[in-house]
Chains A and B, each alone.
Chain A
Amino acid sequence: MQILFILTIPILLSVAVLFIKKQRVFGIVNSMGYLVILSASIILLKEIVSLRSSISYFGFIYLDILSAFFIFVVSVVAFAASLYSIDYIRKDTESGVISEKKAKIYYILFNLFCFSMLFVPALNNLGMLWVAIEMTTLISAFLVGFYNNKESVEAAWKYIIICSVGIIFALLGTILFSYAFSLSGGMKSLNWSDMVASAGKMDKNTLKIAFIFILVGYGTKAGLAPMHTWLPDAHSQAVAPISALLSGVLLKTAIYAIIRFGIITIKGVGFQYFSNLMILLGIISLAISCGFILVQKDLKRLLAYSSIEHVGIISIGLGIGGILGIGGAMLHVFNHAVTKSLMFFGAGNVVNKYRTHNMHVMRGVISTMPFTGFMLLMGAFAIAGMPPFSIFISEIMIICAAFLKGYYLVTFLLLGFIAIIFGAVVNHFSKSLFGNIPKGMAVVREPLSGKLAFLFLFVQICALGLVLPFIKKDLVWMVQTLFQG
């Protein structure tokens, strides 16, 4: 029932844009809508946790704990982004960067984009899953190229071409999965719930090759390392609230698809195969992002490379397995989504104020914009993995899992790269947050709705450490049901 609300509200909102004239009113209506979606997704999550089973409608929509969790993550970030959009877009229209009409187009695309991302985890049919993920690419390409200048159009072109090619490989993998399934049972179905039931009988050789195609395909969309090249461009050129959505949740929907196919592969081929591939890609992602973060000058590109790092950590967590590893990866999905959104909102404010992406020119952010500066300082420590914040908890869980399972080399590399990245991130941010204010820069008061978005995310970054003991039992159950055996 809740899923009906979750899926129809974005569509209704995108139609409502055409009828509401005042942009500010619509912005508020928009975030109210996302508040409803957020509460519906929390109720859905609670219901599935307390029922301890899955819900399915017409064999088309299938909601288990994994889908409910990802829908929850998407709706959290979407709500924050809708709050932040109100003032961001208003400022852009006032300064004449975009016209009133273009602001409307922004809101339509924003809602369609959120719809497609909420749609992905709800689907049972793996072919439709592919269609929904391709839909997210096509819609967000317009949002990446929104400002229509040379850089953003170039970024959008790279984004759409690289992701479309990647995703074609994913379609090839999906077809091979369905072939393996039809050999085993003779039933004609692409439904995940049917496939997973007869995963043990599928042809091992075909499954192995099919999963590699899936990993290359959806891995491109998730930003795993050798296929990540679109990511820094798209993230740095998109509108700030969209950067947050791209990095916070778009990458996670691709991770979701990998997990879905991964479960079938694990049941058919065994855990070791899945594990080796995921850990390999994760380590490559960490290594590449580490190098680029060290020498980065551009604020938003720095954050984009940091997303590659965190996707790498999630992939390592999934690869290590066990309750600590997979539980840690799941928590990391949520923690990274909220923390990175906060950072992109902060970066959006700073870029708007200083009119540059170059971190060598930004100085004294904390004196010109006290609130944003403070949030960025906290966020920088959180994203680098300082103890009181939530990312530390999920990282330590994954590291513990790696130690306990005896992956010493992986642990060594993981700790080493995280330490280097910690130093680099703190160094970059402390330089631009503190220091002398450039001449002619005035101190500004920041609008309320922007602050609300920051506070909403910040509370979640801090709170997880306190809530964890209460949800531990449910988390353990969630991981166990997902990866039995």
Chain B
Amino acid sequence: MMVIILLGILGSTFLMVMAKRMPALIRSFCYQSFFLFLIIFITAFKENRLDLYVVAGLIFALKVLVIPYFLSSTATKIKVSESLGLFINSQLSLIIALVLTYFSWMFSKNLGFTGEYFSGIAITVAFSQVFIGAFLMISRMKAFTQVIGLLVMENGIFLLGVSIEEGMPFFVEIAIFFDVFVSVIVMGLFVYRINKLFTHIDVNRLSRLKG
């Protein structure tokens, strides 16, 4: 059961790599966060831990509902074209994502995580999310993709935190949540400002500062 959900996370990450338009990207991010919520919820249920219930609830509220809503409403407000502007086309991106996944499998094997069946897969998925998130950030033109890439990386970190035995202390996890939330808001504000000043949000055309 858990493994299927993990594959769901991986699948939605691949969907994001394939996406060519803004709404598709945000929707896939929604799916991914929902699967993450399920994982944490089931773990909380199995181990009967109250703090994990709270974390799961926060993920559902923030990452499945509030942040995607905030991003898509900002996107419609600033009226830019929905195309993401791919530097690398979607087929090639998918191949790179697969290579990155294989790389994270090797990586988690190297760290000695693959002893247990479940945690081995979970950690592979977590690392692959971190790397694919970074890849998304550098291979798309629009400033929004950078925000979403960052969120994907953060989801990966959370999955890693849950699947490694103990995880983080509770208040640290809450503090990290708060930080993530604030950083998305701050980045949203800056996207808004960039659009106002430059009348576009293509990061490859932000090239006034050099040398």
Contact = CB atoms under 8 A, between A and B. Distances in A.
Contact of A131 (B157, B179, B203, B208): B179
Nearest to B113: A179
B160 A172 contact: yes
A165 B150 contact: yes
B195 to A, nearest CB: 10
A188 B166 contact: yes
Interface stretch (A142-150, A449-457, A472-480): A142-150
A155 B197 CA distance: 13
Contacts of A131: 172, 175-176, 178-179
Interface stretch (A89-97, A156-164, A363-371): A156-164
A372 to B, nearest CB: 25
Contact of A301 (B112, B134, B211): B211
A8 interface: no
Given A188-B169, A295-B211, A168 B150 contact: yes
Contacts of B178: 131
A46 to B, nearest CB: 32
A150 B172 contact: no
A168 B153 contact: yes
A129 B146 CA distance: 24
B25 to A, nearest CB: 17
Q: Chain B CB within 10 Å — which of A138, A296, A301 has the most? A: A138
B23 interface: no
A179 B193 CA distance: 40
A236 B154 CA distance: 30
B103 to A, nearest CB: 14
B194 A157 contact: yes
A171 interface: yes
Interface string B177-211: 01100110011001001100110000100101101
Interface residues of A, number: 51
Contact of A151 (B146, B153, B208, B211): B208
Nearest to B176: A131
A209 B164 CA distance: 16
B92 interface: no
Contacts of A150: 197-198, 208
Q: Chain A CB within 10 Å — which of B150, B176, B179, B203 has the most? A: B179
Contacts of B161: 175
A130 interface: yes
Interface residues of chain B: helix, strand, loop or mixed (majority): helix
B150 A164 contact: yes
A206 B110 CA distance: 9
A130 B130 CA distance: 17
B99 interface: no
Contacts of B169: 125, 127, 188-190
A150 B209 CA distance: 10
A296 B209 CA distance: 13
Interface string B105-139: 00000111000000000000000001000100100
B168 interface: yes
B165 interface: yes
A190 B172 contact: yes
Contacts of B175: 127-128, 131
A112 interface: no
Given A175-B160, A209-B111, A292-B211, A154 B206 contact: yes
A410 to B, nearest CB: 28
Interface string A111-145: 00000000000000101101100110010011001
B143 interface: yes
A156 B190 contact: yes
Nearest to B123: A179
A253 interface: no
Q: Chain A CB within 10 Å — which of B178, B198, B211 has the most? A: B211
A233 B111 CA distance: 37
A168 B147 CA distance: 13
A402 interface: no
Interface in A163-196: 164-165, 168, 171-172, 175-176, 178-179, 182-183, 188-190
A153 B190 contact: yes
Nearest to A148: B193
B161 to A, nearest CB: 6
A131 B190 CA distance: 21
A175 B157 contact: yes
B209 A145 contact: no
Nearest to B150: A164
Contacts of B187: 160-161, 164
A52 to B, nearest CB: 30
A138 B150 CA distance: 14
A434 B49 CA distance: 70
Interface in B35-86: none
A205 interface: yes
Contacts of B168: 127, 175, 178, 190
A157 B157 contact: no
A153 B194 CA distance: 7
A145 B197 contact: no
A134 B179 contact: yes
A128 B169 CA distance: 10
14 contacts: A128-B175, A135-B179, A141-B190, A142-B186, A145-B190, A151-B208, A160-B183, A160-B187, A172-B130, A182-B165, A190-B172, A205-B112, A209-B110, A237-B209
Given A157-B190, A161-B187, 6 more contacts: A150-B198, A154-B206, A172-B160, A175-B160, A190-B169, A295-B211
Interface of B: 110-112, 130, 134, 137, 143, 146, 150, 153-154, 157, 160-161, 164-166, 168-169, 172-173, 175-176, 178-179, 182-183, 186-187, 190, 193-194, 197-198, 203, 206, 208-209, 211
List the 8 shortest-distance A-B pairs measured between CB atoms, nearest first.
A127-B172, A131-B175, A233-B209, A154-B206, A179-B164, A188-B166, A182-B166, A168-B153
